[in-house]
Amino acid sequence: MEHSAGDRMKTALLVVAAAGLLAGLVLAYMMDRTDLASITWMIGVVPVLAALLIEILRSLARGEVGLDIVAALSMTAALLFGETLAAAVVAVMYSGGTFLESFAEGRARREMRDLLSRVPRTATRHRDGRLEDVPLDEIAPGDRLLIRQGDIVPVDGTIAAPAAFLDTSALTGESLPVKLAAGAEAMSGSTNAGEAFDLIATREARDSTYAGIMRLVEQAQSSKAPMSRLADRWSLGFLVVTVAIAFAAWWFTNDPIRAVAVLVVATPCPLILAVPVALVAGLSRAAHYGVLIKGAGPLEAMARARTLILDKTGTLTDGRPQIVSIDTHDGIEADELLGLAAALAQATKHPVAQAIVDCARERGLTLPIPQEVRETPGEGLTGIVEGRRVIVGGHGFVVGRVDARAADHPALSAGSVLVAVGIDGKLAGHMVMADPLRDGTHDMLSGLRRQGVKRIILATGDRQEVAERVTAGLGLDGIRAGLTPDQKVLLVLSERKRGPVMMVGDGVNDAPALAAADIGVAMGARGQQLPRRPLMSSCW
């Protein structure tokens, strides 16, 4: 876990205060050296008090008044009137509370690091017949860039190759890679899922899609008011009453120690500690189910959420293509077709091909090594498997190479991915692939409604027909499809007029909306599995 200078300072203050308190107790009650004990307690208090006064001045400069002022007054008064033990106890309570709060918030400080980790730092550019790696800020419109397999597209541009195969799931939510023809626009932040291709830059890095999403995140975050601790809401009135009672006790008894006693007793250490202690307990419980919570604000706001906005890909669904059915022709068995297709699919890293291989292995099929494999990026594969010529790919790709009529399959209009398989020159069948709902989704949404959520809306960059098919039967209150990142932000802001909004998503495209919502729930890589559930099968 990474620690900032502020976190280290809070840890050091707690160590100093606790060490001073314990050492003073040993000196006073075990060695009968009350004079040294008083000095030791003072040494433990002074650094905490100094740090507290600096923080109070910063808060006052921002126009904020908190209960920390009462803690500072009690420590100061105790030191002035010789009650060093009381000052040491308050110092430990205060430094312990700030340490717990810092520790709890630091455990889940990952979302922005994950977002920034995707930003490429350099790009490979063609220059005078050779390739050179250059920083992104040196790329200008018109530069020709090489995008290798697995590279993230660094800037917006047009495809300068016959075809390119891009995974845009982090930007649009589309679960399956898309094929782009020569001259098509490619968005920065997409991942090259096919062969290497050239890209002609059309924008500078700072003006590209991915940079725009980053700016949206920063703007959405800065527009939100920080959540204050519950006790701080009444801090000014509490401070005035406390000081008034302390002066009254001093005035009527003519004993300044009475004022110190009032300030020490009134120091809201239970209130200061309540939030961080409850937060740590909540974090521990949530971590048991694989949930990381950032700060006290989301925990408090979650109870008030009345609208839930959900992304589809990787959130409601697994985010990976899975075989949902196999249709065969001419009496061929489904396992035979799957086995031959999977054996050939071993030769490529295409996500659809990997899903076919995974399904075959789950069914216990033996996959021989294919021979004479040829891949047409974004289209399909041909090769020899145990002496049989096999073709696997899109419907049009396979039909154009076998003896079959080019009739449309019903799945082509249902928002699914259709993989055709040809064997020995004939169309042997089709595998229908989709991105189905996670197991337990219906029960989860029903449970949220019982907890007080009134409206549940799907917000996705996918097509309307796909969104409607996947979510059929869930009883959603609305489906918003084909949304860009900024449109998701507008949807969140619009729904906030009805009450607090919780947004759940997983991709970079969801980051601005997550930041704009009252509560943003960022799923892990490809989404977090539901607690105590097995991983979803890639087979039907």
How far, in Å, CA of 416 to CA of 309, rounded?
Answer: 24
> Which carries the bigger pLDDT value, residue 149 or residue 239?
149
CATH number of 303-318+437-522: 3.40.50.1000
Mean pLDDT over residues 213-228, rounded?
Answer: 51
What pLDDT is recorded for position 141? 93
pLDDT band at 214 (very low <50, low <70, confident <90, very high): low
Query: How much is the pLDDT for 197?
Result: 92
Any idea which of 35-39, 368-372, 464-468, 532-536 has the lowest mean pLDDT? 532-536
pLDDT of residue 226: 41
pLDDT at res. 194: 79
| 52, 95 Cβ separation under 8 angstroms | no
Q: Give 78's strand partners.
A: none
Q: Please report the pLDDT score of residue 411 as a whole number.
A: 53
pTM of the predicted model as reported, rounded to 2 decimal places: 0.52
Query: Given a cut of 70, is residue 473 above it in pLDDT?
Result: yes
- pLDDT in the model for residue 118: 58
Name the CATH topology of 122-219: 2.70.150
* Pairing of the two strands 371-376 and 380-385: antiparallel
pLDDT of residue 95: 83
Mean pLDDT of all residues in 421-447: 86
Same fold yes or no, 122-219 and 303-318+437-522: no
Instruction: Please give the single-letter amino acid code of residue 295.
Output: G
- Phi-psi bin for 323: left (phi > 0), alpha (psi -120 to 50), beta? beta
Residue 494's contacts (CB-CB under 8 Å, 6 or more residues apart) are none
**Distance in angstroms (rounded) separating the CA atoms of residues 126 and 421:** 39
Percent of the chain with pLDDT over 90: 18
Instruction: Give the least confident one: 25-34, 112-121, 230-239, 415-424.
Output: 112-121
344 CB-near residues (< 8 Å, 6+ apart): 370, 373, 381, 382, 383, 385, 390, 392
Coil, helix or strand for 272? Answer: helix
Handedness of CA 495, 501, 502, 505 (dihedral sign): positive
CATH of 322-434, one of 3.40.50.720, 3.40.50.300, 3.40.1110.10, 3.40.50.2000: 3.40.1110.10
The residue among 38 and 297 whose pLDDT is bigger is: 38
With 60 as the cut, is the pLDDT of residue 407 above it?
Answer: no
Supply the residues annotated as catalytic. 311
Phi, psi of 529 (to 5 degrees): -65, 150
* Whole-number percent of the chain with pLDDT over 70: 76
The answer to whether residues 452 and 305 touch, using CB atoms and an 8 Å cutoff, is yes
Query: b/e per residue, 281-302, with b = 16+ CB within 10 A?
Result: ebbeeeeeeeeebbbbbbbbbe
pLDDT at 533 (0 to 100)? 32
Please list, in sequence order, all residues whose beta carbon lies within 8 angstroms of the beta carbon of residue 148, skipping any fewer than 6 positions away.
124, 192, 196
Please check the confidence at residue 4 and state whether its pLDDT lies above 60: yes
pLDDT at 296: 56
> Where exactly are the structural domains of the chain?
5-109+231-284, 122-219, 303-318+437-522, 322-434
Q: What is the predicted pLDDT for the residue at 525?
A: 43
| Burial environment of residue 475 by CB neighbours within 10 A (0 to 12, 13 to 18, 19 or more) | exposed
3-state SS, residue 535: coil
For the ranges 80-89, 125-134, 223-232, 411-420, which has the lowest average pLDDT?
223-232
Residue 447 CB coordination number (10 Å):
11
Strands 455-459, 478-480: pairing kind: parallel
Contact 407, 286 (CB under 8 A): no
Of the given ranges (268-272, 278-282, 299-303), which has the lowest mean pLDDT?
Answer: 268-272
Return the structure tokens found at 40: 């030791």
At 101, is the pLDDT very low, low, confident or very high (cuts 50, 70, 90)?
low
pLDDT at residue number 126 = 93
pLDDT for the residue numbered 286: 64
Condensed to tens digits (0 to 9), the pLDDT of residues 10-68 reads 888 889 988 988 998 998 888 888 889 889 988 988 998 898 888 888 877 877 666 67
Q: Judge whether 386 and 344 are in contact, CB under 8 Å.
A: no
Which of 128-132, 278-282, 335-339, 515-519 is predicted least confidently?
278-282
Between 181-190, 387-396, 407-416, 419-428, the lowest mean confidence (pLDDT) is in 407-416
319-362: per-residue pLDDT in tens?
Answer: 677 888 888 888 889 999 999 999 999 988 777 888 899 999 99
Here the tokens at position 103 are 């520790």
Q: What does the block give as tokens for 138?
A: 């040196």
Whether pLDDT at 298 is above 90: no
Using alpha carbons, select from 297, 314, 310 the residue that is nearest to residue 495: 310
Residue 150 CB-density burial (10 A; 0-12 exposed, 13-18 middle, 19+ buried): exposed
Q: Which residue has the higher pLDDT, 114 or 518?
A: 518
Rounded to the nearest integer, the mean pLDDT of the chain is 79
Q: How far apart are CA 339 and CA 336, in angstroms?
A: 5
As a whole number, mean pLDDT of residues 524-531 equals 41
* pLDDT at residue 283, rounded to an integer: 57
Check whether 86 has a pLDDT greater than 60.
yes
Give CA–CA dist 377/193, Å, rounded.
9
- Please state the rounded mean pLDDT for residues 254-264: 83
- Residue-wise pLDDT tens digits, 167-185: 877 666 566 678 888 999 9
Kindly write down the DSSP assignment for every residue of 461-525, as one continuous string.
SS-HHHHHHHTTTS--SEEE-S--HHHHHHHHHHHTTTS-EEEEE-SGGGHHHHHHSSEEEE--T
Measure the CA–CA gap between 149 and 191, rounded to whole angstroms. Answer: 8
Whole-number pLDDT of residue 159 = 94
Determine which helix (DSSP H) or strand (DSSP E) holds 253, and give its type and residue range. Answer: helix 235-253
